[in-house]
Amino acid sequence: MIEFDDVPGLVDPLVIAAFEGWNDAADAASGVVDHLIDVWGARVVGAVDPEEFYDFQVNRPTVGTDEQGMRRVTWPTTRIAVASPPGLDRDVVLVRGIEPNMRWRQFCAELLAAVDELGGTMVVTLGALLADSPHTRPIPVSGTASEPELVDSLKVDESTYEGPTGIVGVLQDACTRLDVPSVSYWAAVPHYVAQPPCPKATLALVNHLEDLLGVSIPLGDLPEDARAWERGVDELAEEDEEVAEYVRALEESRDTADLPEASGEAIAREFERYLKRRGGAEG
C-alpha cells in the first residue's frame, strides 16, 4: 500500500508513467517524466516500498550526502509526484520509477490503487525501443490505446504486438482489466546510437504529449540538446564509412516508406505546435 503525504484534491488528474529498464531505450521515456517534473515543478507525494519489488543486488541503493550534509542511502523505487501545469484545466500525476525485479502483478495493483486514490481518470505510459530508424529523420512515435473511443479520438492504434513485454505492457494490461482508460506512446530510438541519453527521442515523446493534452509544454534545453545529439551522431558517422553507408540506406528506406500525406500531417501538427507556442509567448 502506497502512503501519500498531504495531497490536496486533484482536478481530473491524468497519469503519465515511465520506467527505467527494458522499456526505456536510451532513457528516452524516463527522460520525459524527469523533464515534466522539472518544468512543471512537480512535488513527490509518495513512493512504492522497494523491499517487495526490487532485487538490491541488481538495482543497488546509492549512498551520498543530502542538502543538510547528512549521509543518506537512497533506495531504488518508483515515486509518484503531482503537478498543476499552467494552461491545463486538469492536474497531472507523474509516475517515475525502475522496472521491478519481482511481483509485477502486485506492483501494478498497488500503482493502480494509488491512481484510484488520487482520482486518476486515464493512464498514459511511455516507452522507447531500439529500431532501424535513421537519426537524421524525425523519431517515429507509435501510439496504442485500450479503448476504441480513444483509438478514434487520438488517432492511435489498437495494439497488435505479440511477444515479450516489460512492466509498461503489464501495467497497460492491468489498466484494461480494471477498465481504466489507457494510452501508450513508444519512441523508436536508432539502434546504432543506443547509449543514453537520446534527447531527440525524448522531445518526440513530449510533442505527442502536447498533442494529447492540447497544451504547450515548456521545452527548456531539449530542442538544442536534440540538435547537438544529431550533430554528434553525424560526426561519428562521417568517421566510419560503413556506418555512413548504413545510415544512407536507412534514410532511403524511411523516405520511400513515408507517404506524402503522412508527411503533410506531420508538418501540419508541427505548425500547430508553433502557433500555440507563439501565442503563449505573446500572452
State pLDDT tens for residues 221-238.
Answer: 999 999 999 999 999 888
Separation between Cα atoms, residue 145 and residue 158, nearest integer Å: 6
What letter would DSSP give residue 18?
E
Average confidence score pLDDT of the chain: 90
Question: Which phi and psi angles does 45 have, rounded to 5°?
Answer: -120, -10
Instruction: Answer whether residue 7 is part of any domain.
Output: no
Beta carbons of 61 and 98 less than 8 angstroms apart: no
Q: In whole angstroms, give the CA distance from residue 96 to residue 125.
A: 10
CB 137 within 8 A of CB 251: yes
Question: Is residue 142 a part of any domain in this protein?
Answer: yes
Asked, for residue 6, whether it belongs to a domain, the answer is no
Q: Examine residue 4 and state whether it is found in any structural domain, yes or no.
A: no
Contacts of 257 (CB under 8 A, 6+ apart): none
Q: Identify whether the C-beta of residue 232 lies closer than 8 Å to the C-beta of residue 238.
A: no
Nearest to 30 by CA among 145, 159, 189: 189
Predicted confidence band of residue 274 (pLDDT cuts 50, 70, 90): low
pLDDT the model gives residue 1: 78
Closest CA to 40 of 238, 242, 209: 209
Asked whether residue 1 is assigned to any structural domain, the reply reads: no
pLDDT in the model for residue 88: 94
User: Quick one: which of 87, 91, 19 has its CA closest to 48?
Assistant: 19
List the CATH number of the domain containing 142.
3.40.50.10900
Binned at pLDDT 50, 70 and 90, residue 79 comes out as: very high
Nearest Cα to 125, choosing from 83, 85, 156? Answer: 156
Q: Is residue 2 part of a domain?
A: no
Q: What DSSP element (H or E) covers 210?
A: helix 199-213
Count how many residues are written for the chain: 283
Q: Which positions ≥6 away from 113 have C-beta within 8 Å?
A: 1, 2
Residue 88 burial (CB count, 10 A): 18
Would residue 9 count as lying in a domain? Answer: no
Provide the number of structural domains found in the chain.
1
Does 256 map to a domain? yes
Parent domain of 146 = 14-282
Q: What is the pTM of this model?
A: 0.88
Torsion angle of C-alpha atoms 211, 35, 189, 255, degrees rounded to 10: 40
Angle between helical axes of 260-282 and 199-213 (0-180°, round to 10): 80
Mean pLDDT, range 61-67, rounded to an integer: 92
For residues 271 and 200, the model is more confident at 200
Neighbouring C-beta atoms of residue 191, cutoff 10 Å = 14
Q: What are the tens digits of pLDDT across the range 105-131?
A: 999 999 999 999 999 999 999 999 999
80 confidence band (pLDDT: 50, 70, 90): very high
